Structure 1
Amino acid sequence: MSVKRILTIAGMAVAAAVLLIVLFTTWYTVDEGEQAIIITFGEADETVTDSGLKFKLPWPVQSVEKLSKETFSTTFGYNQDASGELISYDKETKMITGDEYIVIADLVVQWKITEPVKYLFNSENPRELLHDATAASIRSIIGSSPIDDALTDGKAEIEAETRDLLADLIDRYDIGIAIQGVKLQDVELPNAEVRDAFTAVTDARETKSTKINQARKYENQRKNEAAGERDAVLSKAQGDKTARIEQANGDVAVFNKLYAEYSNNKEITRERLILETLEQVLPGAKLYIMNDDGGTMKYLPLAPMGQQTQATPQDSENEKEGGEGDGK
C-alpha cells in the first residue's frame, strides 16, 4: 500500500471523526427541571432555562453544563447509605449550649441554585462550602441558646436564627445558592439518664400548661355565670322599679281624680268611697242601703229579695244576732 493511499485513508478517518464530533456536539436537550450554561473556550457565555432541543457550536469551541432547578436537601449530622440506613456522625453533631451543656443536633438544609455561573466558577466545591457554613451557623446559634430552648419549645426560634445566619454567610460567599429553609431533625442529650430527666421536665411543663388552661377555662365559665346572674338581678330590679313607679303614678292619678270629684261634691264622693270600700272588704256581698228619717244611712248585708235560699241553723243564729243589734 502506497504512502499516498495511507494518507488518504487517514484523512478520511480524521474527517469522519470530525464529522461525528460535530454531529453529536452541536445539539443538546434541556429538560423542564434543568438549566444549561453554555461555556465557550472555558468561559461561561449564556444561561439557558427554556426546555427543549438546543444547538451550539461543536466541541471544543463550546460545551454545556446542566444544573437542576429543583430544591436540594443537604443533611448535617447524618446521612443515608445505599440501603437507606441512617449513618450518624456524632463528632460533628456534638455542640455546647450557651449554659455549657452538650447536645447532639442534626438538621436538613433546603437550597436552590439561583445563579448557575457563580455556582460553577466561584467555588471549587460549593456543596462542601455549604456544609461548612451550616456547621458554623448551627454551632453559633446553639452556643448562644440555653439547653431548655434547644430541647423544648425554642426549636422554632433556633431554626429561624440558623436559617438567617446561614443565608447571610452564603450571600457573602457568593456561590449562587439561595437558602430555602432549615429544619432541625433531632436535638437531644448524649446521656440516656439526662435525657430521661429532661423528658420528665417536659412532661411536667405540659401538665402545668394543661392545668393552667383548665383553671382559666373554669374561671371564665364562673365569670360568665356570675355576669349572667348579675344581669338577671339587675333586670328584675329594673322591672320592679318600673312597675312600682307606674303603679304609684296610677294611684296618684286615681287619687287626683277622686279628690277632684270630692271637691265638686263631697257628700256623693264620700258615699261612693264608702261603697267601694265595702265592696273590697265584703266581696260578693249584696248591700241594701236604707235611709231613715234621721238622715243616718244604714248598710245592711242582706240577701237580695227573691233569692231562694234554705236557711241553716247558723243563718238563723246570725239573723237573731242581727236583730238584736238593730234593736240596740
Structure 2
Amino acid sequence: MVSARRISRYVGIGLGILLLGIVAFTTWYTVDESEQAVIATFGAVDEGVAEPGLHFKLPWPIQKVQKLSKETFSLQFGYKEKDGEIKEFPKDTKMITGDENIVLADMVVQWKITNPEKYLYNSEEPKKILYNATSASLRSIIGSSKIDDALTSGKAEIEGQVRDLLSDLVDSYDIGVSILSVKLQDVELPNEEVRKAFTNVTDARETMNTKINEANKYRNKRTKEAEGEKDAIISTAQGDKAARIESARGDVAIFNSLYNEYKNAPDITKQRLILETIDQVLPNAQIYIMKDDGNTMKYLPIQPAQKQKETQAVPPVQKEGSGQNE
C-alpha cells in the first residue's frame, strides 16, 4: 500500500506544478495593435495599456487583464442586419414630428471606446445605454422638426443635431465612449397611402419651384433686354444731342463769318445771299443777266449759248467697219 506520506508528497508536487503553471501563463500578456488593455489588481483598476507588444504583470488572481478593441463600432438603431438579412423594429423607429406627423426613422451610429476603464466599470451595459441614448436623441430632434425636413432636404441638419445631442448625453453618462458620426438610413411614412399622398405634394411643390425659377429666368432676361434698349436709347439721344450742339456751333460760326463779311461789304453780301437763296429754292431756274437802259430791255442769253457749246463739244459717232463719220 501507498503510505499517506507519499500521497501527500504527490499532492504537494501536483499543487506546485499547478501553481508554477499558473504563474508561468498569467504573468505575461500581449496587446495587439488593434487592442487596448486594462489591468486590475484585486478588482481595482491600476492602469490602462494601449502600447502594443509583450507586457508583464502579477499572476492571477492578483492581477487580471481585460482587452478591448480600438476599432470603430456601428450601432444599428431600429433594425439589425445579419447575414444579408435585415430585421426591423418598428416600435423603436416610430416617432412623431414637430408638426404632429408620424414617421419611421432608423439610423447608424459610429462610435469607439476611448476610455476602457470607464467602459468596463462605470456601467453594467454600456451598449444598451448607448442604444437608449441614441433613441432619446433621435426622438428629441425629430419631435422638434417638420416632416418635410425629415423626409427631404433637412436630413443633414437633423443628423448634425442628433450627433451633438447624443455626444452630450454620452459625456454626461461617462461610459467611456465617443460618438464619431450618425447617419439616417431611412425616414419613411407609416403606410403606402400616406407615402403616395406625400409624394404627390412633393411633386407639386417641385413643379411650383420649377415654374417660379422659369418665371424668374424670363423676368431677368426681359429686364436685361429692357436695360439694353434703355442704354441704347440714351446713347442715341446723347449722340443726337452732341450732333445738334456741333451743328448749332457750326451755324453760329457761319453766321458770324457772314456777319463779318456783311459789315465789310453789305451790298455785295446781300446780293450773294439772295442769289444763293434763289438757287436753293429754285435749283432748276434759268438765270439771265440783263441791263435796262430805257424802253428796250436787253439781256445776255447765257443758258442757250452754254447748251450750244456743249452740243458742239460732243464728238460724232462712227459706224462699225466704216471710216466715215455719221
Partner of 1:46: 47
**Residue type of the partner of 2:47?**
E
Q: Which amino acid aligns with 2:10?
A: I
2:23–2:59 CA contact under 8 A, matched in 1: no
Matched, 1:55 2:59: no
Equivalent residue, structure 2, for 1:77: 78
Tell me, in whole angstroms, the C-alpha distance in 2 between the residues paired with 1:139 and 1:175: 21
TM-score of the aligned structures, taking structure 1 as reference length:
0.76
Q: Distance in 2 between matches of 1:259 and 1:298?
A: 32
Identity among equivalent positions (%) equals 56
Structure 1 residues 305 and 224, CA gap change in structure 2 (3 angstroms): closer
Match of 2:110 in 1: 110
Asked whether the 8 Å contact 1:97–1:146 carries over to 2, the reply is yes
2:31 partner amino acid:
T
In 1, Cα distance between the equivalents of 2:137 and 2:275?
105
107-116 vs 248-257, which moves further: 107-116
Q: Which residue of 1 aligns with 2:10?
A: 6
User: In the TM superposition, what is the alpha-carbon distance from 1:72 to its structure 2 partner?
Assistant: 2.4
Alpha-carbon distance in 1 for matches of 2:130, 2:226:
62
Shift of 1:179: 2.2
Instruction: Provide the residue aligned with 2:21 in structure 1.
Output: 17
Correspondence for 1:129 = 129
- Alignment of structure 1 residues 128-207 onto 2, 5 Å: 128-207=128-207
Native 8 Å contact 1:30 1:36 kept in 2: no
Q: CA deviation at 1:144?
A: 3.5
Change (3 A) 1:298 1:132: farther
Contact persistence 1:262–1:270 (CA under 8 A):
yes
Three-state SS of the structure 2 residue aligned to 1:190 is coil
CA distance in 2, matches of 1:302, 1:117: 133
In structure 2, do the counterparts of structure 1 residues 227 and 193 end up closer, same or farther at CA, with 3 Å as the change threshold?
same
The answer (yes or no) to whether the contact 2:94–2:103 under 8 Å persists in 1 is yes
Shift of the 86–250 alpha-carbon distance from structure 1 to 2, 3 Å rule, reads same
Q: Using a 3 Å threshold, how does the CA distance of structure 1 residues 289 and 54 change in structure 2: closer, same or farther? A: farther
Provide closer, same or farther for how the CA distance between residues 177 and 276 of structure 1 changes in structure 2, counting only shifts above 3 A: farther
Q: Structure 1: how far apart are the matches of 2:183 and 2:139?
A: 14
Aligned length: 303
Q: Distance in 1 between matches of 2:54 and 2:163?
A: 38
Could you say if the C-alpha distance between residues 303 and 137 of structure 1 is closer, same or farther in structure 2, counting changes exceeding 3 Å?
Answer: farther
Report the 3-state secondary structure (helix = DSSP H, G, I; strand = E; otherwise coil) of the residue aligned with 1:309.
Answer: helix
Corresponding residue for residue 32 of structure 2:
30
Q: How far apart are residue 223 of structure 1 and its match? A: 1.0
How far 1:78 sits from its partner (Å)? 0.3
The alpha-carbon distance between structure 1 residues 242 and 59, as it changes in their structure 2 partners (threshold 3 A), is: farther
One-letter code aligned to 2:74: S
Cα drift, residue 73 of structure 1: 1.9
Aligned-pair CA distance for 1:121: 2.0
Cα deviation, residue 259, structure 1: 1.3
Distance in 1 separating the partners of 2:232 and 2:301: 50
- In 2, distance between residues paired with 1:153 and 1:177? 30
Amino acid at match of 2:126: P
CA distance in structure 2 between the aligned counterparts of 1:299 and 1:180, rounded to whole angstroms: 117
Contact 2:78 2:89 in 1 (8 A): yes
Question: 1:6, 1:202 → 2: CA distance?
Answer: 86
Structure 2: which 5+ residue stretches go unaligned? Answer: 294-298, 315-326
Aligned equivalents of 2:68, 2:45: Cα separation in 1? 14
Deviation at 1:68, TM superposition (A): 3.6
Kept after mapping to 2: 8 A contact 1:30/1:54: no
Distance 2:235 2:255 in 1: 30
Q: Relative to structure 1, is the Cα distance of residues 181 and 305 closer, same or farther in structure 2, using a 3 angstrom cutoff? A: same
Mapped to 2, the partners of 1:241 and 1:298 lie a distance apart of 49
Q: Distance in 2 between matches of 1:204 and 1:246?
A: 63
1:309 maps onto 2:318 in alignment: no
Q: CA deviation at 1:131?
A: 0.3
